[in-house]
Structure 1
Amino acid sequence: MYRFQPVRATFVRRSMTAALVALLNACSFAPGWRMPVVPDAASGQATGGASATGTHIEATAATPDIPVTELSLGLAQRLTAERKSARNRRVSRLLGAPPAYTVGRGDVLQIVVWDHPEFAAALGSAQNPAASKAGDPAAGFVVDQSGNLHFPYAGALPVAGLRTEQIQARLTAALSKYLVKPQVTVRMASFRAREVYVDGEVNSPGALPVTDVPLNLYDAIARAGGLRESGDQSDLVLVRGGASYRIDLTEMLAEGLSPSQLYLKSGDLLRVTSRDENNVYVAGEVNKPGVALPRRDGRLSLADALAQAGSINSSTADTAQMFVIRAGKDAPEVFHLDSRSPVAMLVAQEFDLRPKDIVYVDGNGLVRFNRVMTLLMPLVNTGLTAGIIAK
């Protein structure tokens, strides 16, 4: 029996040695997102493919080369100004005088030929209101799907795309062949040809008819029941002619651009997005990790996001390692803020976050070491248990 004792002792020594080596390695390894700056001694530039605009941060061997931009007050203000300017330029193209309403397919016209009551018999729609349905057109002459108006003696007149006064002139000229100086009046009885659509965070989404009274942005929202509590005033999407335009109502007013000068056209789709769609993620050493929502005006700064997350955990956070990760077209953008200085909170207040940004606050060295120890203690306990059993 004693001849197996050296084997057991060797097993115990090896187990203890493995546990000790793992424990010592813990001093140089810790899980997390700590990304120390690695400057080049000769040039002062960051190594590992750093760009000229940012400092390269090395996280792990599997992390690609990503430039990290140091946040400052000037940079935060410049990014905000550039974003506002670009959006306002696009919105300015939508402003202008509304076009005059032209008759389209499905519209109903009210036509009166004075001193000739016999034409009233040709109105074409049921005159009994009780017999009509909700979708039936008003009494009058309906413009057919070919864009033609059929009127006694005048025949089929192409009227789609014309204003009512132009239709009146054409109809008068056609009736002049049979009547002496006919007096004709043409009015719109029902607007059925053109609609705009309002969707999203409004109380009554649906289609709105476009009439001879121009429909501006404010009117469309009001006729759709107004914005819901969850509606984001800073993120309205207008789809027109295959292109999307993002509209910020709050910013338009701040820049002196009146939303009442933005008129909707037939076929436009206006969508009011929800603030839930424009959230950001806050992770790391904060008191309440989760999502942060923009305010009613749509703005969400870095300071706002941290406040919604219960602020930084002063016991576990490394306040020098705060990052904002933003998805880019080719590569993600990473911004770094050293929040140890009180001035840094002013930078956080001026730095506007964008939807789906990720805010990460790294842990301090003691927390990181404690996490590694928590992972290694089962291994150490296993080695000790094996030694006791071997004895």
Structure 2
Amino acid sequence: MHNAAGGIKSQIQPFREKGESPKLKIWRHLTAGCLFGLHAGATILPGALLLSIDAENALAATKSSLQNSIAQSQIPIVPFELQNTPPQRFRPNPQFRIYRLGPQDSIGVVVPRFPELNGTFAIDGEGNVLLPLVGKLRIAGFTLDEAQERIRAAYNRFVVNPQVTVALAAARAGQITLTGEVVRPGFYGLGAFTRLVTVLVAAGGTTTQADLRSVLVRRFLTDGSYIEQKVDFFTPLLAGDPLPDLVLQDGDAVIVPKLEVGNLATYDRQLVARSTLAQPNITIRVLSYDRSTIANLSLRNGSTFIDAVTAIAPSLQTADIGNIGLLRFDPERGRVIMRELNARRAILGDASQNVPLRENDTIVIGRNLLTRIRFALTTITQPFQDILQFLFFFRSFTQGTQNIFLGPGSGTGNPQ
């Protein structure tokens, strides 16, 4: 900076004259100071501008990076295989979407330019509506479009080319029949636009023997014929898709089929058991030698062996929890399958010992009692035809409780 000042002074030095006046001297100093300021500004300003531009660029880059980081943190992590997989929407038979009018339905009628013809009209027990000018007109059994055309044709006798719009104002109450593998089959009343899944839940859910892949809905038409629609609830449960949305109508019949032998391998019964469509509870039977008891135990559907052991709470001093029997009827072979489970290993996390439970399973606690039941089952040569025969065998076996829990010639049983 001193060199720059010296250069400026050397440039203006030749213009000095001896004997210059004080005013001229002051003017000369002011001129030198201004020139020095301009020179310094011209030297420093470009650098400052470059620093300012670099700072702005760095700030913009930091801001962009921060925004990208925030945006990425807000993006949910979705498994790759699900990103491009559209849900499988339920597409019922188009005839099942048609609503046919009947007694106790109410329709709304709008005729532009003729407000005196507008209104809401109820269908009487004979299937007629009472319209202005027209009087009684039968529309029961017709769709809304067909009823609209009938009303338009009726008003055409009084109005030139009437424009008529008909809509459903209130749907009638109805009744459907529910049969098959549900907890409480029977007749169920319908509200307006009641859905199939709502009726299944209201009936207590489906049983453990139900096949949710082919629930059948049968609808009877006015001419005496009927149409059918199969509804698959299992696949949406498996894939995480929306459940089928089928609206029931008055007179529908719903049949929940039984799971056929041979179709068990492709059907996840445990998944269905944990769903809201299945019955909420299951009942298993417990034979406890150390407590000399036979009891029914109610558990949440989808419970496992550990849940049952926890509810039973066997004595750790007298019960052999390392060897507990589980009896289950196998419909494919028509026989009772007995499996010995170790509750200690199940509690410690051995998944092979913590098996899912099913309706009518039997748990046997006590080595001596387990041996007797195993012997009784080995003497049966003919297979059980169904679960009812197995239950009958179990009931016959447990009727003689004195012989089961008391050893021969002793007054009390010896816990094993």
**TM-score under structure 2 length normalisation:** 0.44
| Bigger share in helix | 2
Query: What's the TM-score, normalizing by structure 1?
Result: 0.46
Q: Using CA pairs under 8 Å that are at least 6 residues apart, name the structure with larger relative contact order, 1 or 2.
A: 1
- Which structure has the larger Rg? 2
